[in-house]
A and B are shown apart, each in its own frame.
Chain A
Amino acid sequence: MHSRYRNSMAQDSSAHPHSVKDPHDHSPPMFLAWAAGLPIAGLLLWLIGYVFCDCIVVMSKDEQLDTWVRHPDYSLRFHSEGWGTSHFAEHGIVGTKQGPAADDRTVVIWGDSYVEAVHVDDSTKMHNQFNRLWQKKHPDSPLRAYAVGQAGYHMFDYLKLMPKFGDNLGDVQAHVIVLHTPSDLYPPKPGQLERPVSQQVQAYSQPKPLAMRWREPWRDLELSALWILVRDSKGVKLRWQPGAIADAPQPAADPAPWNPEPSYWGDLLTELKQRADAPVTILYLPTVPFLEDGQLIVEDENESLMTKFAEACHEHGIGFVSMRDTLIEAYHKHGRIPRGFANTLPGRGHLNDLGHAVVAHKLTELMEERVGAVLSR
């Protein structure tokens, strides 16, 4: 029963004998095989990079907004978390190739990577799901959602961009800001809470994305694989000194729980209300539910902070909705966590198709409440 394997030429890689050239073998020498193998492997690697890696993100400077946005002529393939292809209209409007006309009734959804949502296809993104739901429920009351989101955006970006968009967002009926972490409410530079928000927004500018001049030609040739290899090689640091094994670097401690100055929030929300040309609602997406140490965690560590923030919003005429209960309910109803993808981990990272659907339903309810009354007149 075992001799077949014992005597088999199929041995584990470690058993491999040295190659011996057959004197009757007239094939080209192995040197050519190695030399030719490199470009062939390179071509295959190019193909693998095209299919499995994230594409190179091309950005352009939007003169009207005075900021860098995703270039509208390039789609964005994102495969490292989720699997999505995203398109962009002018001014970085997400998930569509065409922005709104000036007289289109719109609701604008602002956010960071959660709204940009490159992890899912355009049709799955929360605002496009909202559009289908709204069209189905209120075919006679046209209202369309558009998303303005980019990874890394925070409140100062929204404050800066809102007035600059002008008519490019249509006839805005409502603004919804998707917030998933309280840190996005705070100034990008620490220790600035005492300065007036208007001054900080004035002085704030989005950091210029790296390596812009290389991106377009590399993207045209779809050189994602090479781009990643070059980028990763820059992070290599050498250590030659023998030493004790250092303890594994501890993750950076969470910032001390913010002890916000009430005046800061008031200043921020006042500034938000002034810059927005329509009612504003903040939609809070806590990270729950998630899995940790064998438990399903449903408690949001930022709940008390966000409860205080919600009160401040209410005082300043800004809407605030927490999605905590809705997300937990979605888990119990569907048996899936609204975050995480097949190629990542459940409960970690960005919203998946279920998460976007849940948010789209909530947006529909919100708009029915806030906008529906106006549209029905």
Chain B
Amino acid sequence: MLFYHAEFIILVTVVLLFLRFVPARRAQNIFLLAISYYFYAYWDWRYLGLILAITACNYLSGLALGRWREQRAQKLIVFAAMAIDLGILGFFKYYNFFVESLQHFVEPTGINTWSLKILLPVGISFYTFQSMSYTIDVYRKQLPVCRSLVDFSLFVAFFPQLVAGPIVRASELIPQIRNDREMTAARMRSGLRQFVLGLFKKVFIADNLAMFVDFHFSNAGLFDAPTMWLVVIAYALQIYCDFSGYSDMAIGVARMMGFDFSVNFNFPYIARTATDFWRRWHISLSSWLRDYLYIPLGGNRKGPARMQVNLLITMILGGLWHGASWNFVIWGLIHGMALIVHKNFTTLTRNMTVPTALRPLWQSGSWLLTMVVVLVCWVFFRASTFEQSWLILRQMFIPHEGLTHLSPFPLGVAAAFAIHHALLNTRFSRWIQLDLDQKWTPTILWLMLGITLLFWPEGFQPFIYFQF
């Protein structure tokens, strides 16, 4: 069930009523857990076994870490838990990828590898990473052991963020599960605002852009350069609105229930450097990778050369997290290289200052360069093959004849985004940010809801990040 389906709205209403009239925390947690499992089973009941396995693995690991305190035993427990978690993730997500890649190399020898027909469970990347964060934090003594199976299971399976994030750390969510929660009118308004914004972004903007993007990516070779630039920009807006829209809906629903999740997106398309972009895009994943991969690898503590290697490894694996395809690896690699370039550039120019008169030009140039890199990366992210990626990049950067299709909707969305982002740090900010204490905000939210319902696209468009 998707967040904008009638079934989900009814389900959330029932949940909110239950939470409002049944204040006992334990009863609430059990109820939320049951609803979360139902929500997951709604996709495919066969997946339940998987989430139960991940839950059991990390819960028992936590208990074991609390029981056996010797360093060697602790390392063994964590290693075993990670092996199980990553083994499950690796099998379901990457088995065929590695087998088929290997086949490419061993084919001349006559050896045949076997690929399997494996169903990719919804949300596996998200809840696996989330569970791993618990075990690692307990090992690091940053988090006490969670002894309540109900509380821990709810942490893993909490339905608002189960299938497409945000990745919520145990240190953030488990205390909220264990403590009493508030359901206030202010939270309801705030959560509802978040939900409506997310719905508007996902259904009205992202899903309507999808039809334009899908068609033009499939037929990229026939369109001219301006059209292909519009297509790639449209995709950048589509994926942002799709993913941040989902996050908004998840955060909004959770807030109405009394839970607070961290920000997952912070206007990534105003970033002026690759580093800034990754502080704004999918923050829950980038911070997870920083804390559990980049820093354990050594971060920037072992010299600049090692830092660059660590950055590349982190970003490549981050790309691979998104999907079992070399395109995602390239996506991560380019982002990694952009981060390295920025870090080196910052180091080289740390004693230099930009003259005040040139500052606007400098800032605009930085922004433009960052956006071009981000857009090029999105081409690899979206294209189904490496060849298609190159075709689209050629169509974008090499002038040529072709069909022109500058569709008004993507143009309008791009223009609206440009105006919105330009006004972000002006006196109009509270208006366009739809602050709840602005009198026009309810009108605009009602209008956004109406527009979403009125221009509901035909056909089913799943959340892009469901496939991860």
Task: Give me the interface of A with B, judged by CB distance under 8 Å.
Answer: 1-2, 4-5, 8-22, 25, 27-28, 30, 33-34, 36-38, 40-42, 44-45, 48-49, 52-53, 225, 228-229, 232, 236, 238-240, 242-245, 248, 291-296, 335-337, 342-343, 345-346
Contact = CB atoms under 8 A, between A and B. Distances in A.
A45 B197 CA distance: 17
Contacts of A30: 189, 436-437, 442
Contacts of B439: 27-28, 33
A242 B434 contact: no
Interface of B: 1, 6-7, 10, 38, 41-46, 122, 184, 186-187, 189-190, 193-194, 197-198, 211-212, 215, 218-222, 244, 247-248, 251, 261, 263-267, 270, 272-273, 276, 280, 363, 366, 401, 403-409, 424-425, 429, 433-437, 439-447, 449-451, 453-456, 460
Contacts of A28: 439
A19 B430 CA distance: 12
B267 A12 contact: yes
A345 B211 contact: yes
Contact of A296 (B218, B222, B267): B222
Contacts of B276: 2, 5
Q: Of residues A34, A41, A295, which shows the largest number of chain B Cβ atoms within 10 Å of its Cβ?
A: A41
Contacts of A21: 437
A36 B440 CA distance: 10
Contacts of B267: 5, 10-12
Given A11-B263, A14-B248, A337-B403, A37 B445 contact: yes
B450 A245 contact: no
B425 A34 contact: no
B265 A225 contact: no
Given A19-B437, A248-B460, A294-B222, A42 B450 contact: yes
A9 B221 CA distance: 43
18 contacts: A2-B276, A9-B429, A10-B429, A13-B248, A14-B251, A18-B186, A18-B190, A19-B437, A33-B442, A37-B443, A236-B6, A238-B7, A238-B10, A245-B43, A291-B215, A293-B218, A295-B219, A343-B408
Given A8-B425, A225-B450, A243-B45, A346 B437 contact: no
Contacts of B449: 41
A229 B453 contact: yes
Contacts of A346: 403, 405
Contacts of B437: 19-22, 25, 30
Contacts of B41: 242
B456 A12 contact: no
Nearest to B267: A12
A345 B184 CA distance: 47
Nearest to B42: A242
A34 B442 contact: yes
Contacts of B440: 33, 37
A49 B403 contact: no
Nearest to A21: B437
A127 B404 CA distance: 27
